[in-house]
Amino acid sequence: MRVYLVAGELSGDILGAGLMQALLRRHPEIEFRGIGGPRMQAQGLDSLYPLETLSVMGLVEVLKHLPGLVKVRRHLKRDALAWQPDVMIGIDAPDFNIGLERQLREAGVLTAHYVSPSVWAWRQGRVKTIAKAVDAMLTFLPFEADFYTEHRVPVAYVGHPLADELPLVNDRQAMRAELGLALDRPTLAVLPGSRSNEIRFQGEVFLRAASALRERLGTLQVVIPAASPARRQELEALLARFPELTTDTLIIESRSREAMTAADAVLLTSGTAALETMLCHRAMVVAYRMAPATYWLAQRLVKTRWISLPNLIAQEGLVPELIQAAASTENIVAELMPWFQDPARREALEARFAELHAGLQRGASERAAVAITQLVERGRLDSATDAI
């Protein structure tokens, strides 16, 4: 079997490597070619470009790099058609990969896309383009699969690799001890975002909320994971403006899961961090602020009742969501307080999160490999794939 893979960033490299390992167990003589990072290359990928070639964020940056990206896509199309893969798999990076998948499918190559774009949330018209581009969509989440089924796109719900990676049982006290935190004090994890502009919009209000929560509870220790050394510097500079918090606040680099696991509750921005917090089985408040123009546009484009993945997965409002003006210090504290004052309520939510975690823990890489094998061997994806 020959498989052409195109990943666009670090998370895609991790997903791609897991899928390649699972495919190798089924097809030891398999060959891989395309774009991937060090993890995918370690599994045997012949990568034509560095992983970061497609890692372009933001409208201005994309426009600046557009000619180069178009050139790369044209080269990949020619290369794939000359190599004649049994299947081409785009891993995330939908703005790049969906177009390449469509071109290759029109040329007779079977195509699959691993990680659904948020087409169910906004720009739903894109599903028509996706339907023309892929023979199979592999989704992490059940409501995503329902959306594609409704729109007659062949789909396999494979589960979430992060759910496979994180344990169904964790130890809050042991993690506090590992991080050097007091075992018997109320503990809040604060995650204002992994990008500089997210810290700019959320950082101050999050720390103001932590300070007000500390005053209400009488004591509080705070742990803040920083996504990078640069984010750590920004967070330390921000924390210096809150001297009442500095003694009892720990900033750690990268270890977001450890911070979540050690906490009684988590204050975070929307995104993958909310899913990660759910998979650590911790109560949370989701709060998000953005530029006014971005919020104005989002109100008109986003079609979902909820924005956080725990609520979307459960299809109910399990965790508070405070967006834009609603993400005030007063509102954040009001939503955080019950998680500290009502342990029974918090434990009930933690148990519900554990149930949802178990439902997502399906062996995603293995299921994705089964779906790809079925697609290659039968030329189509059967609905029975979900029952594997």
Mean pLDDT on 353-370 = 94
CA 360 vs CA 198, 211, 271, 306: distances in Å: 28, 35, 17, 19
- pLDDT, one tens digit per residue, over 117-130 is 877 655 667 889 99
Whether the pLDDT of residue 388 is over 90: the answer is no
* pLDDT cut 70: percent of the chain above it: 91
* pLDDT cut 90: percent of the chain above it: 68
- pLDDT, one tens digit per residue, over 75-117 is 999 999 999 999 999 998 888 899 999 999 999 999 999 988 8
Q: pLDDT class for 62, splitting at 50, 70, 90?
A: very low
- What was the pLDDT predicted at 4? 98
Between 377 and 197, whose confidence is greater? Answer: 377
What is the rounded distance in angstroms from the CA atom of residue 20 to the CA atom of residue 191? 32
What is the rounded distance in angstroms from the CA atom of residue 7 to the CA atom of residue 368? 15
- pLDDT, one tens digit per residue, over 151-189 is 999 999 999 988 999 999 999 999 999 999 999 999 999
- What was the pLDDT predicted at 60? 40
Report residue 346 as tokens: 């918090």
Global pTM reads 0.79
Query: What contacts 24+ positions apart, CB below 8 Å, involve 150-159?
Result: 151/127, 153/127, 154/380, 154/381, 155/381, 156/367, 156/368, 156/371, 156/381, 156/385, 156/386, 157/386, 158/362, 158/364, 158/367, 158/368, 158/371, 159/360, 159/361, 159/362, 159/363, 159/364, 159/367
Mean pLDDT on 327-332 = 95
- What was the pLDDT predicted at 307? 80
- What was the pLDDT predicted at 59? 40
Mean pLDDT on 225-254 = 93
- What was the pLDDT predicted at 149? 92
Whether the pLDDT of residue 387 is over 50: the answer is no
- What was the pLDDT predicted at 57? 41
Complete domains list, the chain, with CATH: 2-159+362-382 (3.40.50.2000), 172-360 (3.40.50.2000)
Please report how many Cα atoms fall inside a 13 Å half-sphere around the Cα of residue 117, on the Cβ side: 20
Whether the pLDDT of residue 386 is over 70: the answer is no
Whether the pLDDT of residue 330 is over 60: the answer is yes
- pLDDT, one tens digit per residue, over 18-61 is 999 999 999 999 999 999 989 999 999 999 998 877 764 434 44
Within 10 Å of residue 84's Cβ, how many Cβ atoms?
10
Residues 367 and 20: beta-carbon distance below 8 Å: no
Work out the mean pLDDT of the chain and round it to a whole number: 89
Residues 88 and 110: beta-carbon distance below 8 Å: yes
- pLDDT, one tens digit per residue, over 258-294 is 999 999 999 998 778 899 999 999 999 999 887 777 6
Q: pLDDT class for 299, splitting at 50, 70, 90?
A: low
Whether the pLDDT of residue 199 is over 90: the answer is no
Select the highest-mean-pLDDT range: 48-52, 211-215, 230-234, 312-316.
Answer: 211-215
- pLDDT, one tens digit per residue, over 128-137 is 999 999 999 9
- What was the pLDDT predicted at 53? 76
Q: pLDDT class for 301, splitting at 50, 70, 90?
A: low
What is the rounded distance in angstroms from the CA atom of residue 73 to the CA atom of residue 90? 12
Q: pLDDT class for 64, splitting at 50, 70, 90?
A: low
